[in-house]
Structure 1
């Protein structure tokens, strides 16, 4: 299955991504920062990908989350390309019947099996660049 996103430069260091169904993603590396930076978008993609899984897993186990948030922190290399060398994802949730152990199991299941963003970050991805 292919996914596409067309990214258009808006000036300065601001870009908008548009997917085939019309949703937009504003990426902004300019000093004003009206959107998120590319690296913040990567952290956000990981956090929301795993959040979708965890919320679903907990609901299927009949212990739905009443509150839930993810704190994600990335450590970057000092030299270019300044990639993330470590990412820490903290799942914080509560609800009736929700135990720390159950939330931990759901988070592990997401990170190890279901979250496509986590799997992409853990693998070697062949990136091909072309110019037109």
Structure 2
């Protein structure tokens, strides 16, 4: 995979735009009148989308595609500075014809333990708790 570079430009106040090597952008905003996400929210979103990408792919490969899927990523922060995350809970809520909690759980654990590079990059001291739920939304069994 090699080296990745993101260039970050200051837009004034506490607003920054990050640009990937291929020109994609993210607005990071910690100002009073936010128009982008905070750096800490961006970290939670990165973890959630990284594992979601894996889970959707794994479920498709196993011939149990998801028809609904969302994640709730909750970060608990330390009281003292730096107010780092001390615990992150990633809750996967999915549904689809033939999807079981066991299949979803296997896909989630494979993502967190083997494939998700964001999860692997986080500090080993951080406790990642994975809470699972399976729902069938909009379909009969």
Fold shared by both chains (TM-score > 0.5): yes
* TM-score after normalising by structure 2: 0.86
Question: Which residue of the partner structure matches residue 112 of structure 1?
Answer: 113
Cα distance, 1:32 vs. partner?
1.0
**TM-score, normalising length from structure 1?**
0.92
Residue aligning to 1:42:
43
Count of matched residue pairs: 124
Residue 19 (structure 2) pairs with residue 12 (structure 1): no
> Offset at 1:20?
1.4
Q: Which residue of 2 aligns with 1:92?
A: 93
State the superposition RMSD in angstroms: 1.0
Deviations 1:57-80 (A, max 9, x none): 000000000000000000000001
| Distance in 1 separating the partners of 2:120 and 2:20 | 22
* Superposed structure 1 runs of 4+ greater than 4 Å apart: none
Task: Tell me which residue corresponds to 1:30.
Answer: 31
CA distance in 1, matches of 2:71, 2:112: 13
Q: With CA pairs under 8 Å and 6+ residues apart, which has the higher RCO, 1 or 2? A: 2
Runs (5+) with no aligned partner, structure 2: 126-141
